[in-house]
Structure 1
């Protein structure tokens, strides 16, 4: 009885091995074709990666972002080849299981690295945006400075005090930012006031001519002078004019030069720029020797 069971077991094993061998022989052409397709897609991925790197080199200055983008593209192409190879092997169930498992794993990783992935995708977005590039002077999230680096996690800003600020990419994408470098010309604002005894029309004309001589305007640009209000000790006005400026420092320099020129012109014409004066009047006299 035991000998009979042993023979049946050996026969069952040989039948199973024979079935596998027959299946292998029958599926050998598909296996070879699937292998060739997968190898072909590996070469295609390398070729696509080189082309994409040449294209992105003109638009992405950061090597880390460019290399990561190329790797992602190559991985996507290889995955496509892998799925096609599984389809040629008639492994539909395995393909479905792989896709389902990849979805679950991807969801888990996405939830665990939500902040990191947000910054990573934001970094990819920033790398293609022409509105912000390395070397630009920007104001964002309460900081101002020159952009020195854009990577997959953050951007680095060098402030005017020579300190560096690291800001997550998601903050740049979600929050407004001002880029001084994107425009070659900017408008400068100067606020001042003159005494009530001044000839207002003469002050206006003198100020406009002084600024025009110092800062020539281009095209449709013009120096704008407008009185704003009757102040406590002066009649206040705002002055606006255009200058070449790609950094906040350029605006500060232009405002400084404008104030100097306006003060010189006012001194030459005897125009008063008053400042507030406070007069204290003691109406109650104190008596030291008072009759009791």
Structure 2
């Protein structure tokens, strides 16, 4: 009796495995077709994205919005291909069950990935923010560089030393940032000092004329010269002027040009730009050999 039950069990297992094998063989063509359809839709999404990218280049000036829109369109095309593939596999009921439980699962995932979702929504905000675009030179979170990428998780900044910095989107949204590229012209500051024996009015007029010549000012712009303080070795001043500046390097170039011109003009007029002087006293009033 026991041997009969074992044989029946083994026969039932083999019958079950045979049924599964038959199902796999019968479903193999549908599976291959579903895989091919899904791969086909991936390629379709790629080419559809290129087409829309070309169309949006003419209509949407902001690169971040264009790139984000193209990514969404590609994702929708791939999602359609995924649903069609499931239909070929006769998994419509499974898909319905998955979608029914998606609310609970989505809530759990949302609680577990609060930081990631925060970066995602911040990425959407940044993509449609006109004050920040790809190619802009910005300073934020202690870093400065050109924005090379904006995605749903972070932005990528290329620094002047050719290194890349990845900053989460939430940090950009929550922290202030300075964008040099939003204005074509900015004010540049150059600090200097002259000796106490100098004719201060002559120094002021000479510097103003020099900067106006090197950096022509537009309407409603002017060169400003202000003495700031009586320093230890010099009377210090700052000169402010407008120049074509769209990134930090442009400021350095303008400052370099102004400093060279000021030094050359001061040398021709024998205007002293003093440097700090320290007097060292080597006298030793407490010498032990003083009595000798």
Is the TM-score greater than 0.5?
yes
Q: Residue 244 and residue 289 in structure 1: after superposition, are their counterparts in 2 closer, same or farther (change >3 A)? A: closer
Alignment partner of 2:63 out of 33, 54, 61: 61
**1:105 Cα deviation from its structure 2 partner:** 2.9
**1:65 Cα deviation from its structure 2 partner:** 2.5
CA-to-aligned-CA distance 1:93-137 (integer Å, 9 cap, x gap): xxxx99995543332121111111111111111111111111111
Distance in 2 separating the partners of 1:283 and 1:151:
68
Q: Which residue does the alignment assign to 1:127?
A: 127
Q: In structure 2, the residue corresponding to 1:226 is in which secondary structure?
A: strand
Q: Residue 268 and residue 64 in structure 1: after superposition, are their counterparts in 2 closer, same or farther (change >3 A)? A: closer
**1:289 Cα deviation from its structure 2 partner:** 7.7
Distance in 2 separating the partners of 1:132 and 1:263:
38
Q: RMSD between aligned alpha carbons?
A: 3.2
Q: In structure 2, the residue corresponding to 1:257 is in which secondary structure?
A: helix
Q: Which residue does the alignment assign to 1:117?
A: 117
> Which segment is superposed worse, 109-118 or 252-261?
109-118
The 5-angstrom pairing of residues 36-75 of structure 1 reads 58=60, 61=63, 65-70=68-73
Q: In structure 1, the residue corresponding to 2:196 is in which secondary structure?
A: coil
Query: Does 2:168 align with 1:168?
Result: yes
**1:73 Cα deviation from its structure 2 partner:** 8.2
Contact 2:134 2:148 in 1 (8 A): yes
CA-to-aligned-CA distance 1:141-191 (integer Å, 9 cap, x gap): 111111111111111111000111111111111111111111000111111
The 5-angstrom pairing of residues 130-169 of structure 1 reads 130-169=130-169
**Unaligned residue ranges in structure 1 (runs of 5+):** 1-48, 76-96
Query: Does 2:191 align with 1:191?
Result: yes
Larger Rg: 1
Using the size of structure 1 for normalisation, the TM-score is 0.68
Q: Residue 162 and residue 98 in structure 1: after superposition, are their counterparts in 2 closer, same or farther (change >3 A)? A: closer
> Which segment is superposed worse, 251-260 or 63-72?
63-72
Contact 1:119 1:168 in 2 (8 A): yes
Q: In structure 1, the residue corresponding to 2:256 is in which secondary structure?
A: helix
Q: Which residue does the alignment assign to 1:247?
A: 247
**1:242 Cα deviation from its structure 2 partner:** 0.4
Using the size of structure 2 for normalisation, the TM-score is 0.68
Residues paired across the two proteins, number: 226
